[in-house]
Amino acid sequence: MKFLLNRLSASSELPTRDGVYTFLNPYSYLIARRNPEIFERFDGIYIDGQLLAKMLSAVLRDRVTRTSFDMTSLAPKLMESAENNDKTVYLIGAKSKQIDIAAAHFQEKYPKLKICGLRHGYFSSAKERSEVIRNIVRLAPDYVIVGMGTPIQEEFLLELAAGGWRGQAFTCGGFLHQSSERLTYYPAWVNKLHLRAPFRAFKEPRLLRRYLISYPYFIAVFAMDWLTSSHRVHRKT
């Protein structure tokens, strides 16, 4: 838990400095606690998931806001910032056809958005992955958005930063493939009632096992982690 509290992003706004940023929900929390050496290297960790946000708020006795990289939260802020400040964006993730359609949807909503490059999120070899990283470094986008699933997307961003790229980069999970369907993935009533997880399970049945098994397990693990962690650890401000 220490890796999280030391990097917990208190704000629901875009960060004020360059770096690599990721998001945790109950499912990815379980992966992160098995791979703390990855997440300790991030400049900030946002809490993507109402359940995790509420549990952190309870134990920290301070409000932790749910912040996700989707159109209900951080994504519009980044797109508008890129438009208004003449910054470039690189998109990587999802399947080939999906990323093309998602990029077209972004361009339609944000006509002045400069997408300097895009690519699907699958690699045939480590060599191909390295070539893609070198290409992104060469293009030098201001923003990079990567959706490959945890922890692959986190490892990719760390390699990108180690390769010399500088800017702001964000993981986004399933956001890019969702955006190939439509940008407003969650109906207004779903978002208002915080029913995003059940709605996504309905839309993507392959995720049902995650919610039915991983989420109850997360509650038990989180409680154990908090009870056994040092209470001298403070959240990052």
Over residues 47-67, the pLDDT tens digits come to 998 889 999 988 888 888 899
Residue 160, pLDDT > 70, answer yes
Let me know if residue 221 belongs to a domain: no
**Residue 157 — pLDDT band, cuts 50, 70, 90?**
very high
Which candidate, 69, 75, 154, 150, places its Cα nearest to that of 113?
A: 75
How are strands ordered across the β-sheet holding 88-93? 44-47, 19-24, 168-171, 143-147, 88-93, 114-119
Residue predicted with more confidence, 64 or 46:
46
237 in a structural domain:
no
Q: Beta strand pairing status for 143-147 and 19-24?
A: unpaired
Question: pTM for the whole thing?
Answer: 0.89
Contacts (Cβ under 8 Å, ≥6 apart) of 84: none
Supply the range of the domain harboring residue 151. Answer: 1-184+192-198
Q: What angle do CA 31, 34, 35 make, to 5 degrees?
A: 85
What's the rounded Cα separation, in Å, for the pair 192 and 139? Answer: 39
Cis peptide before 111 (omega within 30 of 0): no
| Residue 92 pLDDT exceeds 60 | yes
Q: What percent of the chain has pLDDT over 90?
A: 67
**pLDDT classification of 232: cutoffs 50, 70, 90:** very low
* 206 within a domain of the structure (yes/no): no
Domains identified in the chain, total number? 1
Q: Is residue 217 one of the residues assigned to a domain?
A: no
Asked if residue 164 is part of any domain, the answer here is yes
Question: In the predicted model, what is the mean pLDDT of residues 100-115?
Answer: 97
The Cα 62–Cα 10 span in angstroms is 10
Report the sign of the C-alpha dihedral through residues 22, 218, 37, 230, in that order. positive
CATH number for the domain spanning 86: value is: 3.40.50
- What is the predicted pLDDT for the residue at 205? 77
| Residue at 235 is within a domain | no
- Residue 219 in domain: no
Q: What is the mean pLDDT of residues 204-218?
A: 80
The answer to whether residue 215 sits within a structural domain is: no
Model pLDDT, residue 234: 47
118 against 61, higher pLDDT: 118
Mean pLDDT for the chain overall: 90
In this predicted model, which residue has the larger pLDDT, 18 or 209? Answer: 18
**Is the pLDDT at 137 greater than 90, yes or no?**
yes
Extract long-range pairs of 83-89: CB within 8 Å, 24+ residues apart: 83/110, 83/112, 83/113, 86/114, 87/114, 87/142, 87/143, 88/114, 88/115, 88/116, 88/139, 88/140, 88/141, 88/142, 88/143, 89/113, 89/114, 89/115, 89/116, 89/141, 89/142, 89/143, 89/144, 89/145
Q: How many whole angstroms separate alpha carbon 45 and alpha carbon 9?
A: 5
